[in-house]
Amino acid sequence: MKSKRLMAVWKVSAFWLTVIGLSDMAFAHHSFSMFDRSTEQVVTAKVVRWTFNNPHAWLYVSALADDGTETLWSFESAAPPQLIGRGITGNTFKPGDELTLMFCPLKDNRPGGALGWVKMPDGTFLSTNDGGCDGSANNISLWEERLASGVYLWQRG
Amino acid sequence: MDKVFRILLTFFFHQLKAPRGKMTTRRLIRVFTLTIVFLMASNLIERIPTGINTSLAQGFGAGYGPELVVQPPTRKFANSDAHYAWLLEEAQGGTNHSLESVPRWDGLWETAGNTHMQLFLDGYGFGGTVKEGVLTPAYEAAYRERWRQQVEEGQVRYDRLTHCEPAGMPRWLLEPYTHEFINLPDESWFINDFANGVRRIYIGENHSNLYGTHSWHGDTIGFWDNEKLITHTKYLLPADFTRWSPMTSNQFEVVETWELKDYDGLPRLEVQVSFYDSFAFVEPLHAIYAFKPATGLMAAGHRPQHWECDDSSNSYLDENGMTNFHLPGEEGFKDPRGQTLFPDLPGQSRDPIYNTTLQNQSK
């Protein structure tokens, strides 16, 4: 009986999640199939370049590993017109800025991913995402709690 | 809208309280469903200035103004030529506008929904299934595979725009980010900043095809019927409605009726569209697309730029048929902020303000 009830709840959940999922069909000129959207990871790094160009802006950062090596990470953001609508411009991130950011990694584990949100040095969060990662206000709220608990890696489901 | 909310709220709490006793499976499902509906409604409602929320059913940007309603022509036509000729006859040859009288649709516009997915799916969102008998067998089979990828894999594996193909028609109608509509007495220019899609509409002209082939936006002629602009587009290349929608063939043709509507102070530019395609569709199809003023972007002072792609997009179709990226340092990486072909000359950087480089960053 209990498992039947759980199955029913699961079915209804699946239905509504798929309906809600439609809003996740973002507009970009490419599919987001290369990103692992079930994994969200946070890193603090230094801005190398904010490429505010169509079709997508890219944030390139240099991150220092525990062994002292530096790696150039590449994160895809939304298109400039989308970002401008959120108050983000080509001058928002400057070379040398130290930022904390959340991303969904590339499935093939190269140093890159889809940018979710960026936490500015003054503590404010910016939604920098396109369809490849969740940078919504809701997810930022969840991440504020996680960061306060020292969590930097999150896997959905 | 408040009334709907009150009813929802009352029903919700009623389900939570009654009936006495056990929480049955049916009640559990009902409560859960209502919770989701309530959450969705409360999340979406602040984005709706007025009218019915149709964002889930009517595509991106929907929920602005009243529900979009398709108005198919009152009779059937053998082809798009006959349809356009009939509309021209109905308008008694059309209205001759002057520079002073031609309708003005100035400013930046963004998509405000459309009904095209309802043509091809039963049900909405990922729960929808491909309708039978709307597309011809070959096109239906191709679409079933595309929709399977969207539903089962969460993404269509590859989008033809990835390698910088123009959106073309009909995709021009729903692509972001801004649209501009410039009307002159003899010509209209419809511009989408996405991939620089420019449609030119020649008023009162006949079709022309000097290139002897088809193109992304084809050849568009039109006429004014008072405040409405009626257009006819032919000679289009094969394209698609979007990457999770069906493909179109090189026989795809379109008849459009554009009109600026006003809903209690909310301007909405609407276009009733009839799609003809003897290869792809069993019968002609009819949909409505809409646009609303891009108030946020205009307030931010946005000025559309040339939409780059060839020199700035690093996404590509990989050997597994999936979309992937070239990263800095990898073969094939294109640097939109790198040097021109003449790096030895002063002033050839494409990053003149910040002068950054991506070379030698990994240590």
The nearest CA of chain A is from the CA of B57 a distance in Å of 9
Q: Measure A80 CA to nearest chain B CA, in Å.
A: 9
- What is the rounded radius of gyration, in angstroms, for the C-alpha atoms of chain A? 17
| Tokens matching residue B172 | 């021009």
Q: How confident is the model at residue B24 (pLDDT cuts 50, 70, 90)?
A: low
B328 residue type, one letter: P
**Residues from chain A contacting residue B313 (CB–CB below 8 Å):** 29-30, 55-56
Query: In chain A, which residue's Cα lies nearest the Cα of B304?
Result: A81
Residue B9 pLDDT > 80 = no
Q: Where are the alpha helices (DSSP H) in chain B?
A: 2-17, 25-45, 80-90, 116-120, 137-148, 295-299
pLDDT(B363) > 60: no
Does pLDDT of B29 surpass 60?
no
| ipTM score over 0.90, yes or no | no
Cis-peptide, bond into residue B73, ω within 30° of zero: no
pLDDT band, residue B177 (cuts 50/70/90) = confident
Q: Please name the residues between 54 and 113 in chain A that touch chain B, using a CB distance below 8 Å.
A: 54-56, 60, 62, 69-72, 74, 76, 79-82, 84-85, 87, 94-95, 106, 108, 110-112
Contacts of B329 in chain A (CB under 8 A): 72
Residue pair A93/A59 in contact (Cβ under 8 Å)? The answer is yes
Strands B197-203 and B219-225: parallel
CA distance A100 to A91: 17
Q: Provide, as residue numbers in chain B, all residues whose Cβ is less than 8 Å from the Cβ of A12.
A: 29, 32-33
| Amino acid sitting at position A80 | P
State residue A156's pLDDT score: 86
Task: Check A32 against B194: CB less than 8 A apart.
Answer: no
Place of tokens 């067998």: B137
Pair B68, B259: CB distance under 8 Å: no
pLDDT of residue B18: 43
Q: Is pLDDT of B49 > 50?
A: no
Rounded to 10 deg, the angle between the B25-45 and B2-17 helix axes is: 150
pLDDT at B23 over 70: no
Could you give the CA distance from residue B312 to residue B326 in angstroms, rounded to a whole number?
A: 11
- Cβ–Cβ below 8 Å for B325 and A112: yes
pLDDT for residue B13 is more than 50? no
In this predicted model, which residue has the larger pLDDT, B59 or B135? B135
Per-residue pLDDT band for B30 (boundaries 50, 70, 90) equals low
In whole angstroms, how large is the CA radius of gyration of chain B?
A: 24
Q: Write out pLDDT tens, residues B241-279.
A: 999 999 999 999 999 999 999 999 999 999 999 999 999
The pLDDT of residue B195 is 85
At residue B35, does pLDDT exceed 50? no
- Count of C-beta atoms within a 10 Å radius of residue A4: 9
CA dist B96 and B90 (Å) reads 15
Q: How high is the mean pLDDT of chain B?
A: 86
Beta strands in chain B (DSSP E): 105-114, 121-122, 129-130, 179-183, 187-192, 197-203, 219-225, 228-234, 253-263, 266-276, 285-293, 315-317, 323-325
- To test the contact with chain A by mutation, choose from B34, B56, B155 the residue with the greatest count of A C-beta atoms within 10 A, namely B155
Interface of B with A in 256-285 (CB under 8 A): none
Contacts 24+ apart (CB under 8 A), A149-156: A152/A41, A152/A42, A152/A43, A153/A39, A153/A40, A153/A41, A153/A42, A154/A39, A154/A40, A154/A41, A155/A38, A155/A39, A155/A40, A156/A37, A156/A38, A156/A39, A156/A40
The one-digit pLDDT tens for each residue of chain A (157 residues) are 444 554 444 444 433 333 334 434 556 678 898 999 999 999 999 999 999 999 999 999 999 988 999 999 999 999 999 999 999 999 999 999 999 999 999 999 999 999 999 999 999 999 999 999 999 999 999 999 999 999 999 998 7
Q: Which residues in chain B have their CB less than 8 angstroms from residue A64's CB?
A: none
pLDDT cut 70: percent of chain B above it: 83
Residue B241 CB neighbours (<10 A): 22
Contact A63, A43 (CB under 8 A): yes
pLDDT band at B5 (very low <50, low <70, confident <90, very high): very low
Chains A & B: contacts with CB separation below 8 Å: 161
Confidence at B361, pLDDT banded by 50, 70, 90: low
Confidence of residue B27 (pLDDT cuts 50, 70, 90): low
Shortest distance between the Cα of A58 and any Cα of chain B, in A, equals: 10
Mutation pick from A2, A11, A15, A19 vs chain B, by most beta carbons of B within 10 Å, is A19
- Look at A16 and B155 and tell me if their CB atoms are within 8 Å: no
User: CA torsion A44→A56→A48→A91, rounded to 10°?
Assistant: -100
The answer to whether the Cβ–Cβ distance between A34 and B297 falls below 8 Å is: no
Query: Which one, of B109, B118, B120, lies nearest residue B258 by Cα?
Result: B109
Amino acid letter at A13?
Answer: S
Question: How confident is the model at residue B321, as a pLDDT?
Answer: 86
Closest approach of chain A CAs to the CA of B29, in angstroms?
6
**Closest by Cα among B49, B48, B68 to B58:** B68
Quickly list DSSP for B147-183. Answer: HHIIIIISS-S--GGGGT----TTGGGT--S-EEEEE
A110/B363 Cβ within 8 A: no
pLDDT digits (tens, 9 = 90+) for B73-106: 999 999 999 999 999 999 999 999 999 999 999 9
Rounded to whole angstroms, the Cα distance separating A133 from A111 reads 16
**Which residues of chain A have a CB within 8 Å of the CB of B164?**
29
Cα–Cα distance measured from residue A49 to residue A26, given in angstroms and rounded to the nearest whole number: 25
Q: Which residues of B touch A34 (CB under 8 A)?
A: 322-325
Q: Which two tokens stand for residue B226?
A: 């008072």
pLDDT of residue A26: 57
> φ, ψ for residue B214 (rounded to 5)?
-105, 165
Distance CA B182, CA B105 (A): 7
pLDDT at B360 (0 to 100): 57
Residue-wise pLDDT tens digits, B278-289: 999 999 999 999
Determine, for residues B36 and A33 on separate chains, whether the beta-carbon distance falls below 8 Å.
no
Task: Determine whether B198 is exposed, middle or buried from the number of CB atoms within 10 Å of its CB (0-12, 13-18, 19+).
Answer: middle
Buried b (16+ CB within 10 A) or exposed e, B88-101: beeeeebbebeeee
Per-residue pLDDT band for B320 (boundaries 50, 70, 90) equals confident
pLDDT at residue number A7: 47
Query: Which percentage of chain A shows pLDDT scores above 90?
Result: 75
d(CA B309, CA B264): 40
Confidence tier at B155 by pLDDT (50, 70, 90): confident
Please state the pTM of the whole predicted model: 0.82
- List the end-to-end C-alpha distance of chain A, in Å, as a whole number: 24
